[in-house]
Amino acid sequence: MTDAGEDLAALPSLLSVYAGREGPLHRLIWRLDQRFARLVATTTEPMIGQMRLAWWNDALTDESGVRGRGEPVIDALRELNAAPPAGLSQWLDGWEALIGETDLSAYAAGRGGGLFRALAGQDDIPGWLEQAGMAWALWDLSGHIDKVADEAIAMAHAHLLSDPVKWPKPWRPLRIAYQLAHHDIKGGRRAPPGLTPALYMRLIRLALLGR
């Protein structure tokens, strides 16, 4: 497989381990999410940022396979016949909501719903999974942008699942991600900025015991 060309952050790297044979795809999806995050973080002119996101959309949806050729993440996704990933447009819209005036609701619905669709590998997902993705995305954001952290956690609380759900086995990494976020959101705590020892131990416990 083509090398995706960059290191993957510790938490998504560990989550991808629990995706089984879909692990390589999960790692690419998370790498793509990292690219979007870096694009938004380095954007100073909203119009330029929107154009850069539009380039990713055009490249990933190009049926000819010409656009974006040579970009490691895109090449690797094409090798897996996974371009475009599910939920791409929604996912990009979520990241765009952080360019210029921050719209947390649009960000949560877009990045959370789109990313969880991509990781699930299907556009048609149940409402509760999209809701879980929204809670996770807001929790994750709270660990990276101080000025919206408290608002993000408060909003995430409203997206926590109120009823128990049965997570299909292929969605195990998404369950673990959501449950990691749930723990902090319930306590009104921001996400840690990285993989702390405490977060790592919670992940292992969730992976082994499911709670």
**87-99 pLDDT per residue, tens:** 999 999 999 999 9
Task: Judge whether 1 lies within some domain.
Answer: no
Q: What is the per-residue pLDDT for 2?
A: 42
CA distance 9 to 58: 26
* Prediction pTM value: 0.94
CA distance 201 to 137: 21
Task: Judge whether 203 lies within some domain.
Answer: yes
Mean residue pLDDT of the chain comes to: 94
Task: Judge whether 2 lies within some domain.
Answer: no
Task: Judge whether 89 lies within some domain.
Answer: yes
Q: Could you tell me the CA-to-CA distances from 37 to 69, 146, 168 in Å, in that order?
A: 21, 15, 28
Task: Judge whether 14 lies within some domain.
Answer: yes
Give percent above pLDDT 90 in the chain. Answer: 86
Task: Judge whether 25 lies within some domain.
Answer: yes
1 pLDDT tier (thresholds 50, 70, 90): very low
| Rounded average pLDDT over 102-128 | 97
Task: Judge whether 5 lies within some domain.
Answer: no
73 pLDDT tier (thresholds 50, 70, 90): very high
Range of the domain at 156: 10-209
Q: What is the per-residue pLDDT for 6?
A: 67
Domain count, the chain: 1
Task: Judge whether 189 lies within some domain.
Answer: yes
Q: What is the per-residue pLDDT for 4?
A: 55
